[in-house]
């Protein structure tokens, strides 16, 4: 049943299409299709498991090592700091300190603002920039990522949590639910990483993320209009219609003049600083310290002018002191556990997606590798510990990571430095924020999220792949016009629909002979390709699995019916041979074999001969194992389409 | 950016691998890679929608028709009986009557038994063989299918429903829930068919169904041991351990002698009749009437010998009269609606899978086409109407359809005849079943479900595709050792895992040059193929989408690292060129382009040149549109691997 011919000429296998040169037909050596050696079940299974879960060979360097070394390597795997900590030196420390201070100055005002997005008191933002980065520095693999609360996850958390518990009416339970969600977010992340299921987050396509982030950014910016304009009554909903209605129905008379002045002027300042940083990369530190500078200046201004008496809303109070323990605040029983679980899983997955994308991008830029699954374990642990120390979901922030990178960070010690600065802030500096106007925080957030609107990427997506663009736009409009959850749902659904489409509706094409060659090409792509009378050649562009086998069979039969009609009209004879060109068919399963058998039977009834051309190694193997090769006759399986056509209608080919 | 060269020689496109003949190298004409004309978004979108939902062109014959004709065609589409009814004649009627009586004799005892499987009083089985076949005859497209309750769906319904409501303690509500589930099963089926989502049931792979059916058959057979041995206390659970425990703990002393005698002897009779029918296909009617004969004989026997006084359990009472209306019995509000909905969706989908498989098989044998989606609408309507007339989920039965086919049915009128016989039974004959022993029904069911254990198919699956076999065995053991729902869950999960695997972990292969040719083959399949020093050729065997782009990039980089080590060890030089052979890459999206860009950047850092060979039409289009073709340089994209290798290292090729 299985042939294996060692001679190279005769065992020239599949993927061997025609030569493209004319005048070669007479001495055509019809090569036998080679069949590869059979792997036993265990080999095949372990190869598949290895490729699926361990494709990056994470245990590669464990080979051939002594036991104590393996133990050390194991500790290093969980705590990479043990490895890079040993080669740490003063110059690296210098770079990390500068970078750490720079991102700290950026993160402090952002944290206070982001906590508001999550409907939490401002100190929780600072807490989440204190503990999580420390955990990450010990366990994480990225050298550049800057850890802390981020805009989109804060918004997501705020929106999802307030659907469950009202933060104004029941702030204590709301806080507890936030910790519960953070806990489950961390558990989700650790589980995915530990079971090496990290590839699951690849299922959110890049295009959908671009749209989702852009929509989230606009939503966040719109919500800042509350603080920016000094409006007191503002909608809780996040969609653009509700927000616009809130803004304009409160009408200009309830907009607070001084607030708008402060907000607008500092927003201009921040945007100009950003522009300068973009134009001249050496001046990256300008947009980095601009937020803190604005906070200091505006606080001073408000204090001097007593603007808070004139209606400018201020932060007023940030709890002093570092993170209290919150282990007892997490819901471990009751109905809130499920609520927290649901919110936590979603927030955890989005946080993962951001952090992994950031980690990969910067690792690519500095050309080192990070193990995605190991990163997930680190991020998850960070959030689990954070949930027990009054933090909410923290992840990598793209803007802060970019600043970290450009400020010259070398290792995750920059995160430790930033954490230390936040610690100092919490212990000593928080009272100074008393007079900080909300408007400045709103301006800082608006200038921060503008980065997330990546219209250049959207244009590129439009040019490259229209389906991806639909995913992008769908997610974008879903977030803007409905809510963050709906936008996310749209993004995931469109991503899945694309996979479904790929899997259930593969392409098929009719091939014709390009004149004066023995090459067969898609007649739609090459209008000059002519079909051979009485012969229909169809190429199937995918593996034939249960998910598409029935479709492929019905599609081929439909091609046959249509072409038969045309052939009868043109040549007064029908199709007598159906050649299935199988080079793109990388695999076939039992449903696929089934479909081929049914196709063969249908064709026999119509007196059409089924011929197979160019089956790959895996396919030829299964055709033999299932006995189908005997059913159709082994003389009906050819190496190339040209060979198949020659055998079908030798007379006709000579005439051509 | 886009070239389109009309001259055939120069526009020879992709899929043009080498010629396989040596000595051809000098005058190699390097063909330009042809780029197909761009489709606008609307054309692409409507083509995709058409292919996804209307691939069998159901409205094809509506073209170019007058309005009144279109109306008639529309009516015929919904009620196919209008079409085939017109060509009905006496000979067809003769065939249908014979077939109808034959399947009626088979279905009556089965119906009484299957209703028991669903924990319903026996008349409900007969009701479900009365109304649903009538509806189907008007709306269905299959000429051979026999409609009625079937073993697996009855078991499934019984198991799922008794998880929600106890049939012994609350029979009234249980009955109402059964009708509710049937209603929602029908709604599910109609919805799938109407929105042409029928391809979703293809997601349950053939192998998984074989395992599931086999396991369900054994479960059903085991449950019949209760009636067969005359045991009074029997477990409600369906897994094999609980059943065996029930059987043996009740110990032989509570097994009823006369019951076992009756059951065993008639079971032997049925199995012998089956064997005779298999050996000689002309005697198919013997196993067809054997069940009814057994019922008649055994009832007579029990009546004569008063065996019911000796502990033989009898049917005792079947409600006389035809189906009462049950519209008011369906739950449309309250918590039972959701329960009914959940059970109904699952039962409806399984029923669909069976009916569509049967319809396709027999349509293939008689070589006519059935529209799967239209069938679903017919089956759904039949169940919706059935739920309002005291029926439970009915579908096509494989054994009865086979009998129908062999008895010479021509159209669905055989179902009408069967329905009429059931009507007569309900009106007049039910009192005669009073003394029918349960043991005989058990024996009939056991002999019926033995067909479902398709071990030959399982062996073929083992030989053909090991992954499919895992799905098969997983479903089988899931049903046997746990429950029907778990088995189903296992079957669906393994099916999805396979699709996931196909989508996220495509194959990649290193290619080498088969000596004395310019052909490049997988070095694992062709050990004689040698790699070109300094050049690494990798073939990617799938479209590059977001679901696998990151994996492909990382896998290629890992191949590079490994091969670089080997190359340094063997030749004291590393890899300088990486050729990606792209002929199996049928499509690429923005994430894929991203991955190529990141790959290019990584390679640039390692001073390796990236070269693409053989990109297909869609891919070449997107490479240009995204600008990647410029990034890599258009002179780095070749038509064949041989061309690419020649350009990489001309000196080396000449030396070889």
Q: What is the pLDDT of residue B204?
A: 78
Beta bridge partners of A148: A395
Cα end-to-end distance, chain B, whole Å? 36
- Token couple for B480: 């046997």
Distance between CA atoms of A224 and A437, rounded to whole angstroms? 13
A546 closest CB neighbour out of B18, B205, B550: B205
**How near does any CA of chain B get to the CA of A339, in Å?**
21
- Give the nearest chain B residue to A600 (CA atoms): B364
Chain B residues within 8 A of A45 when measuring between CB atoms: 466
- Residues B560 and B601: beta-carbon distance below 8 Å: no
* Contact at CB, A203 and B546, closer than 8 angstroms: yes
pLDDT of amino acid B60? 65
Q: Which residues of A touch B364 (CB under 8 A)?
A: 598, 601-602
Question: Residue A656's pLDDT band (boundaries 50, 70, 90)?
Answer: very low
A34-73 residue pLDDT tens: 555 555 666 766 777 777 777 766 666 666 677 888 888 8
Which residues of chain B lie closer than 8 angstroms to A621, CB-CB?
Answer: none
- Flag if B205 and A583 touch (Cβ within 8 Å): no
Task: Give the separation between CA B74 and CA B290, rounded to whole angstroms.
Answer: 43
Phi-psi region of B520 (alpha: psi -120 to 50; beta: other; left: phi over 0): beta
Q: Do B514 and A203 touch (CB under 8 A)?
A: no
What pLDDT shows up at residue A62?
66
Residues ≥6 apart with Cβ < 8 Å to B408:
B95, B98, B99
Q: Are strands A395-396 and B147-148 parallel, antiparallel or unpaired?
A: unpaired
Helix (H, G, I), strand (E, B) or coil at B536: strand
* pTM greater than 0.80: no
Q: Which of B12, B504, B594 shows the shortest C-beta gap to A514?
A: B12
**Could you report the per-residue pLDDT of A179-203, keeping only the tens digit for each?**
999 999 999 999 999 998 888 788 7
Of the residues A525, A621, A639, the best mutation for testing chain B's interface (the one with the most B CB atoms within 10 Å of its CB) is A525
Rounded to an integer, what distance in angstroms lies between the CA atom of residue A453 and that of residue A214? 4
Q: How far is it, in rounded angstroms, from Cα A583 to Cα A522?
A: 14
Output the CA–CA distances (angstroms, integers) from residue B491 to A352, B207, B451, B471, in the order listed: 30, 9, 20, 6
Q: Chain B: give the shortest CA distance to residue A627, in Å.
A: 9
Report CB contact under 8 Å: B499, A547: yes
Q: Min CA distance, B380 vs chain A (Å)?
A: 22
Query: Measured between alpha carbons, how far is B525 from B541 in angstroms, rounded to an integer?
Result: 15
Report yes or no for ipTM above 0.85: no
- More confident call, A219 vs A616: A219
Classify the C-alpha dihedral B497-B499-B504-B510 as positive or negative: positive
Q: Do A503 and B505 touch (CB under 8 A)?
A: no
Closest residue to B57, CB basis, from A558, A591, A602: A558
Segment A462-472, tens digit of pLDDT: 888 888 898 89
Q: Measured between CA atoms, how close is B622 to chain A, in angstroms?
A: 5
- A316 CB neighbour count, 10 Å cutoff: 12
Convert B13-43 into a string of H (helix), E (strand) and C (coil).
CCCCCCCCCCCCCCCCCCCCCCCCCCCCHHH
Bridge partner residues of A536 (DSSP): A578
How far is B388 from chain A, CA to nearest CA, in Å?
Answer: 34
Distance CA B635, CA B11 (A): 16
Nearest to A586 among B12, B41, B507 (CB): B507
Shortest alpha-carbon distance between residue A335 and chain B (Å)? 19
Distance (Å, rounded) from C-alpha A498 to C-alpha A625? 33
Within 8 A of B525 by CB-CB distance, chain A residues are 13, 34, 36, 617
- Which chain B residue lies closest to A554 (C-alpha atoms)? B56
Number of Cβ pairs < 8 A linking chain A and chain B: 262
Residue of B14, B367, B502 for testing the chain A interface, max A β-carbons within 10 Å: B502
Question: In angstroms, what separates the C-alpha of B605 from chain A's closest C-alpha?
Answer: 7
Task: Quickly count: other Cβ atoms within 10 Å of residue A398's Cβ.
Answer: 22
pLDDT value for B251: 66
> If we measure between CA atoms, which residue out of A551, A554, A555, A547 comes closest to residue A587?
A547
8 Å CB contact between B148 and B400: yes
As to burial, measured by CB atoms within 10 angstroms (0-12 exposed, 13-18 middle, 19+ buried), residue A333 is exposed
Q: What long-range pairs does B171-176 form, CB within 8 A, spacing at least 24?
A: B173/B336, B174/B119, B175/B120, B175/B124, B175/B329, B176/B329, B176/B330, B176/B331, B176/B336
Provide DSSP, B220-232. Answer: HHHHTHHHHHT-S
For residue A42, the chain B residue with the least C-alpha distance is: B466
- Selected for mutation to probe chain A from B364, B464, B592 (highest A CB count within 10 Å) is B464
Q: Tokens representing B428?
A: 């007049």
Question: Under an 8 A CB cutoff, do A20 and B12 touch?
Answer: yes
Compare CB distances from B206 to A199, A207, A590 and report the shortest one's residue.
A590
Largest CA distance in chain A: 101
Instruction: Please list every residue in chain B whose beta carbon sits closer than 8 Å to the beta carbon of residue A202.
Output: 504, 546-551
- CA distance linking residue A485 with residue A159, whole number of Å: 8
Give the integer Cα–Cα distance in Å for B323 and B126.
9
Chain A residues touching residue B199 (CB < 8 angstroms): 504, 550-551
Distances (CA, A) of A604 to A577, A607, B143, B371: 11, 5, 21, 21
- Residue spans of chain B under pLDDT 70: 1-42, 44-45, 56-64, 233, 251-252, 254, 649-656
Residue B504: list chain A partners with CB under 8 A. Answer: 52, 199, 202
Q: Per the CB < 8 Å rule, is A501 touching B589? A: no
CA–CA gap between residue B44 and residue B51 (Å, rounded)? 11
Q: How confident is the model at residue A31 (pLDDT cuts 50, 70, 90)?
A: very low
Average pLDDT over residues A87-102: 90
> From CA B49, how far away is CA A332, in angstroms rounded?
47
A43 contact partners, CB below 8 Å, separation of at least 6: none
| Residue A461 confidence (pLDDT) above 50 | yes
Q: Which residues pair with B588 in a beta bridge?
A: B544
The predicted structure's pLDDT at residue A36: 56
Does the distance separating the beta carbons of B555 and A207 come in below 8 Å?
no
Closest residue of A to B546, CA-based? A205
pLDDT digits (tens, 9 = 90+) for B506-556: 888 898 888 877 778 788 777 788 888 889 999 998 888 888 888 899 899
């Amino acid at each position: 049943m299985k042939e294996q011919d060692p001679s190279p000429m005769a065992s020239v296998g599949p993927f061997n299409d025609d030569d493209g040169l004319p005048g070669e037909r007479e001495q055509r050596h019809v090569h036998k299709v080679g069949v590869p050696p059979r792997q036993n079940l265990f080999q095949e299974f372990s190869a598949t498991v290895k490729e699926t879960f361990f494709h990056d060979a994470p245990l590669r360097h464990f080979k051939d090592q002594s036991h104590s070394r393996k133990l050390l390597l194991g500790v290093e795997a969980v705590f990479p700091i043990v490895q890079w900590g040993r080669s740490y030196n003063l110059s690296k420390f210098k770079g990390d300190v500068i970078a750490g201070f720079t991102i700290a100055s950026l993160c402090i005002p952002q944290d206070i603002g982001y906590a508001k997005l999550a409907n939490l008191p401002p100190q929780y933002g600072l807490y989440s920039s204190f503990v999580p980065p420390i955990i990450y520095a010990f366990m994480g693999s990225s050298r550049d990522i800057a850890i802390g609360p981020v805009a989109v996850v804060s918004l997501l958390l705020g929106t999802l949590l307030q659907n469950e518990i009202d933060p104004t009416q029941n702030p204590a339970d709301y806080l507890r639910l936030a910790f519960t969600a953070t806990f489950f977010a961390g558990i989700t992340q650790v589980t995915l990483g530990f079971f090496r299921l990290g590839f699951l987050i690849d299922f959110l396509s890049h295009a959908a993320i671009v749209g989702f982030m852009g929509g989230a950014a606009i939503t966040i910016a719109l919500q800042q209009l509350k603080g920016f304009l000094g409006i007191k009554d503002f909608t809780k909903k996040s969609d653009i219609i509700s927000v616009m209605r809130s803004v304009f129905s409160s009408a200009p008379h309830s907009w607070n003049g001084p607030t708008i002045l402060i907000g607008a002027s500092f927003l201009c300042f921040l945007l100009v600083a950003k522009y300068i940083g973009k134009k001249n990369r050496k001046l990256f530190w300008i947009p980095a310290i601009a937020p803190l500078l604005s906070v200091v200046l505006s606080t001073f201004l408000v204090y001097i002018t007593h603007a808070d008496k004139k209606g400018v809303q201020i932060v007023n109070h940030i709890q002093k002191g570092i993170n209290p323990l919150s282990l007892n605040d997490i819901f471990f029983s009751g109905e809130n556990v499920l609520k927290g679980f649901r919110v936590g899983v979603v927030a955890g997955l989005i946080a993962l997606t951001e952090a992994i994308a950031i980690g990969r991008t910067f690792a690519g830029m500095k050309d080192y590798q990070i193990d995605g699954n190991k990163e997930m374990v680190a991020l998850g642990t960070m959030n689990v510990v954070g949930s027990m120390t009054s933090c909410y979901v923290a992840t990598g922030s793209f803007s802060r990571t970019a600043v970290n990178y450009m400020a010259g960070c070398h290792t995750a010690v920059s995160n430790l430095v930033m954490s230390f600065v936040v610690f100092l802030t919490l212990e000593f500096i928080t009272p100074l924020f008393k007079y900080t106007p909300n408007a400045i925080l709103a301006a800082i957030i608006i200038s921060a999220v503008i980065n997330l609107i990546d219209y250049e990427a959207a244009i590129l997506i439009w040019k490259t792949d229209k389906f991806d663009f639909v995913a992008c736009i769908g997610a974008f409009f879903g977030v803007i016009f409905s809510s963050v959850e709906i936008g996310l749902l749209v993004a995931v659904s469109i991503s899945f629909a694309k996979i479904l489409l790929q899997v259930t509706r593969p392409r098929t094409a009719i091939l014709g002979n390009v004149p004066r060659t023995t090459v067969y090409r898609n007649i739609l792509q090459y209008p000059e390709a002519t079909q051979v009378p009485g012969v229909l050649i169809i190429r199937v562009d995918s593996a034939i699995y249960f998910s598409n086998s029935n479709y492929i069979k019905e599609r081929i039969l439909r091609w046959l019916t249509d072409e038969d009609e045309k052939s009868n009209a043109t040549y007064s004879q029908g199709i007598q041979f159906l050649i299935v060109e199988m080079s793109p068919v990388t695999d076939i399963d039992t449903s696929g074999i089934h479909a081929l058998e049914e196709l063969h039977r249908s064709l026999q009834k119509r007196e059409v001969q089924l011929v197979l051309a160019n089956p790959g190694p895996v396919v030829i193997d299964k055709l033999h194992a299932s006995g189908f090769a005997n059913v159709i006759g082994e003389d009906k399986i050819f190496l190339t389409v040209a060979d198949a056509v020659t055998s079908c209608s030798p007379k006709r080919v000579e005439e051509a």
